[in-house]
Amino acid sequence: MKTILFAFFAIVLTACNTTDVDKADTITTLYFIRHAEKNRENPNDKDPALTEKGLARAKKWSDVFKNITFDAIYSTAYTRTVETASPTAYKNNLDIIKYEPENLNLLEIFKKGHENVLIVGHSNTVPVLVNKIIGEDRYEDIEDTNNANLYVVKLVNQKLVSVDLLYIP
């Protein structure tokens, strides 16, 4: 059953990556995920690494994204977000661009002509960024136990075309 669900989501992502638009149009698709499962053994550790389960999820994200060629991958500077982004960055032969959520400059992404961008953040930053792009408060903070949300925001000529929230278990 997991294989069927995984295949279904891979097809959905591939479909999300294509659209019928004029060739002169600029299409940008932003993929937002929260970091994978972090180590919670030391509650005083403000920058924990991923657990084994988290490392497996990071690898799974790279498998989910296998049919997408990313132009850029953004991550906050925390160990858990960088570790989550790393397998996908490696598969795309990209360096991870560090960002601060309150200073992520979407206009820079558009100016550089990026078509597919992965942005890895946190339970309280990913929904805020998505809401900012879509211009409404649609998404609340992600539950602390949820590391499986994928937000796909598609823009044509910097105008919102669609936003989808997928759950990738």
Interhelix angle 52-64/79-91, nearest 10 degrees: 40
What total of structural domains would you count in the chain?
Answer: 1
Give pLDDT, residue 105: 86
What is the average per-residue pLDDT within 25-50? 97
What 3-state DSSP class applies to 134? helix
Query: How much is the pTM?
Result: 0.88
Q: For residue 5, is pLDDT > 80?
A: no
pLDDT digits 0-9 by tens, 55-85: 999 999 999 999 999 999 999 999 999 999 9
CATH number of 97's domain = 3.40.50.1240
Give pLDDT, residue 19: 46
- Measured between alpha carbons, how far is residue 122 from residues 140, 141, 159 in Å? 12, 9, 25
- 63: domain range? 2-167
d(CA 48, CA 46): 6
d(CA 110, CA 41): 40
The residue type at 46: K
What 3-state DSSP class applies to 91? helix
Mean pLDDT in the chain?
Answer: 90
Pairing relation of β-strands 116-121 and 72-75? parallel
